[in-house]
Amino acid sequence: MERDLIIPRIQKTLIAVLGHDHFEMRDDLTAPDVEGWDSLTHMSIITGLEKEFDVRFKLREINKLRNMGTLIDLIGSKFV
């Protein structure tokens, strides 16, 4: 799947879970930059993304995430 198709769907999921859109979808965006994205909400976001894209992540994949760019790449890799 193209990155351009992935990004708006991630954005949609984040807004649904966090209840706001005060963030910019940049590759170097990290969780601490986004209000409310902490360890408690992280798992809701992950399950939200799994549902949105109908994919399953592995724990090791989650642990390797560093920023929005790596998240987009991870989701993209599920559709190769």
Partner 1 sequence: MERVSATAQNLVLLAGGLFFYGWADLRFLALLTLSAATNYGLGLAIEDTKSEPRRRVWFWFGMVFNFGLLAYFKYFGFFYDSFVDLLNQFGGHSEHLSLKIALPLGISFFTFQVAGYLIDVFNGGIEVCRKPVHFFTYVFHFPKLLSGPVERAQAFLPRLTLVRAFDRALVTDGARQILWGIFAKAVIADNLAPLVDRVHADIPGSGGSTLLLAAPLYLIQLFADFSGYSNMAIGTSKMLGIPLAINFRGPLFVANISEFWRKWHISLTSWMMDYVFTPISFLLRDKGRVGMVIAIFITFLAVGIWHGANWTFMAFGLVQGVYFLPLVLSGKVNVTSRKDRWWQQVPAMLGMFVLMSLTFVLMRATDLSAAWMYMQGIPNASLFETPDIDIWTIFIPLFVFVGMEWYTRGMDHALQTWATERHWFFRWTSYGLLITLILLSMSTQEAGFIYFQF
Please tell me whether residue 36 binds partner 1 under the rule CB under 8 A.
Answer: yes
For 55, phi then psi, to 5°, come to: -130, 170
Phi, psi at residue 49, to the nearest 5°? -70, -40
Backbone angles phi, psi at 28, to 5 degrees: -95, 15
Report the site for partner 1 in 3-32 (rule: CB under 8 A). Answer: 17-20
φ, ψ at 52 (rounded to 5°): -60, -45
For position 44 contacting partner 1 by CB under 8 A, the verdict is yes
CB-nearer residue toward partner 1: 54 or 60: 60
Binding site for partner 1 (CB under 8 A): 17-20, 35-36, 38-44, 46-47, 50, 59-60, 62-64
